[in-house]
Amino acid sequence: MGSKFKKEGGRGEPAISTASLPDIVFILLFFFMVTTVMREVDLKVKVVVPSATEIQKFKNKSLVTYIYIGSPTDEKLGTSARIQLGDAYAEVQDVGAYIETRRGEHDEAEVPLLITAFKVDRSTKMGIVTEVKQELRKVSALKISYSSVEGITFK
Amino acid sequence: MKSSAPEINAGSMADIAFLLLVFFLVTTTMDSEMGMMRKLPATLPPGTPDPPIIKDRNVFVVLANSNDQLLVEGEFMDISELKAAAKEFIENPMNRITLPEKKLVDVPFFGVKQVSKQVISLQNDNGTSYELYIQVQNELAAAYNELRDELAQNEFGVSYQQLIEKKEKAKVNAIKRIYPQRISEAEPTDVGGE
């Protein structure tokens, strides 16, 4: 046999240079920084938004107020749809007050531009959504958006 | 060998970058923020006179029940047929007497043009699923957008979307005057319940 196979641990392979590893990781890091957005709240309800084709991007994200509706993630709370405003569960009648506090955080000139975005789970019944819409009308927060992902709407 | 300043060990740089990367992965979300923009009707002050009654032929009635079935103009319909039906209704190409009336309107770029007096009326049940509601809204919006797009292609040779992107407001508004999006939502019924 002789010298056809080298003995292990003889000379040893030269180590692969890891000097460029930080650069690669930094590229990944920048990719994620650019393509993602900060999570605004901890979701307490399960929301899978429906898909749609006729949708637009928000022009200014700071003007958007989110209302989440879906069944609670905590199963002890049952499965009926709940509303989440900010970081907490809320009832339908709290919607108006929440919109008013959000308005207080903005310039008066910006108030008519504020958008309320519905992030509603696709299996939710329309009853609760309609009630929230009526509350929004009462405080004249009329610009709304139904959050959805781009995709085919039906099979 | 030349003596020089000892190099700083950069081996831990990767670890630092990884830490930052993991931090961003955890605190951010990927979902792009998109949605269907709508405007709610303002609450009417008490004592407002009732709006004028619209002729039946000008109204396209879409009903959705708690079993997620659609009734369009009195006939059962699958969601996949809704867009074509709505387009036919809005445009009324054959001037049928069962489809909306038209009136002559002077529109910039187009001259005097026949514009249909269409209104789409949408009513759902409290038990209708949100998914179907969005699908119906989407199909109706798609019907309008396709008609507007066809018009833009014929008249200006570009798509409606491109007109919006190029901020050609006058042309966009002219198209909107010919195909105004009129979707009215009636108070939901409560037959199916929760």
Task: Write the pLDDT tens digit of every residue in A39-50.
Answer: 667 888 998 989
> Does any CB of chain A come closer than 8 Å to the CB of residue B69?
no
Task: Kindly report, residue by residue over A24-43, the tens digit of the pLDDT.
Answer: 888 888 888 887 777 667 88
A38 burial (CB, 10 Å; 0-12 / 13-18 / 19+) is exposed
A125 and chain B: CB distance < 8 Å anywhere?
yes
Q: What is the pTM of this model?
A: 0.79
Partner B, chain A 85-114, Cβ-Cβ below 8 Å = none
Under the banding of pLDDT at 50, 70 and 90, the label for residue B145 is: very high
Contact B80, B140 (CB under 8 A): no
Q: Please give the Cα distance from B139 to A127 (Å, whole number).
A: 21
Question: At residue B131, what are phi and psi to the nearest 5 degrees?
Answer: -60, -45
- The count of domains in chain A is 1
Does the structure show a pLDDT above 80 at A2?
A: no
Q: What is the DSSP string of B58-101?
A: GEEEEEE-TTS-EEETTEEE-HHHHHHHHHHHHH-TT--SSSPP
Structure tokens at B14: 């990767």
Inform me whether the C-beta atom of residue B131 falls under 8 Å from chain A C-beta atoms: yes
pLDDT at B1 over 60: no
B32-83 confidence digits (pLDDT tens): 678 888 888 888 888 778 878 888 888 899 999 889 899 998 899 999 999 9
What are the pLDDT digits (tens) for B156-171?
888 888 888 888 888 8
Assigned domain for A18 exists: no
Distance from CA of B97 to the nearest CA of A (A): 30
Could you report the per-residue pLDDT of B7-22, keeping only the tens digit for each?
777 778 788 888 888 8
Whether the CB of B1 is below 8 Å from some CB of chain A: the reply is: no
pLDDT over 90 (residue B136): yes
Q: Pick from A64, A149, A154, A155 the residue to mutate for testing the B interface (most B CBs within 10 Å).
A: A154
Establish if B194 touches chain A: CB-CB under 8 angstroms.
yes
Q: Is A149 left (phi over 0), alpha (psi -120 to 50) or beta?
A: beta
Domain-embedded: residue A14? no
Nearest to B124 among A25, A126, A137 (CB): A126
Locate the chain A residue with the closest alpha carbon to B14: A22
Range of the domain at A122: 51-150
Q: What is the pLDDT of residue A9?
A: 54
Percent of chain B with pLDDT over 70: 95
ipTM score of complex: 0.77
Pick the residue of B23, B28, B36, B123 with the most A CBs within 10 A to test the interface with A by mutation. Answer: B36
* Ranges of each domain in chain B: 56-185
On whether residue A90 sits in a domain, the answer given is yes
Q: What CA–CA distance (Å, rounded) separates A68 from A90?
A: 10
Distance from CA of B55 to the nearest CA of A (A): 27
Is A7 part of any domain?
no
Distance between CA atoms of residues B74 and B63, nearest Å:
9
Residues of B in contact with A45 (CB under 8 A): none
- Condensed to tens digits (0 to 9), the pLDDT of residues A77-135 reads 888 889 999 888 999 999 999 999 999 988 888 888 899 999 999 899 999 999 999 99
Contact between chains at A39 and B28 (C-beta distance less than 8 A): yes
Which 27-56 residues of chain A touch chain B by CB within 8 A? 28-29, 32-33, 35-39, 50, 52-56
> Which of A54, A58, A126 is facing B33, going by the closest CB pair?
A58
Q: What is the mean pLDDT of residues B85-112?
A: 85
> Which residues of chain A lie closer than 8 angstroms to B20, CB-CB?
29
Residue A2 lies in a domain: no
Read off the DSSP letter of residue B110: T
Looking at the domain assignment, is residue A45 inside a domain?
no
Q: Give pLDDT, residue B194.
A: 44
Please indicate if any CB of chain A lies within 8 Å of the CB of B8. Answer: no
Q: Give domain status of residue A4, yes or no.
A: no
In a domain, A87, yes or no: yes
CATH of the domain at A120: 3.30.420.270
Which of B131, B148, B184 best tests the A interface by mutation, with the highest count of A CBs <10 A?
Answer: B131
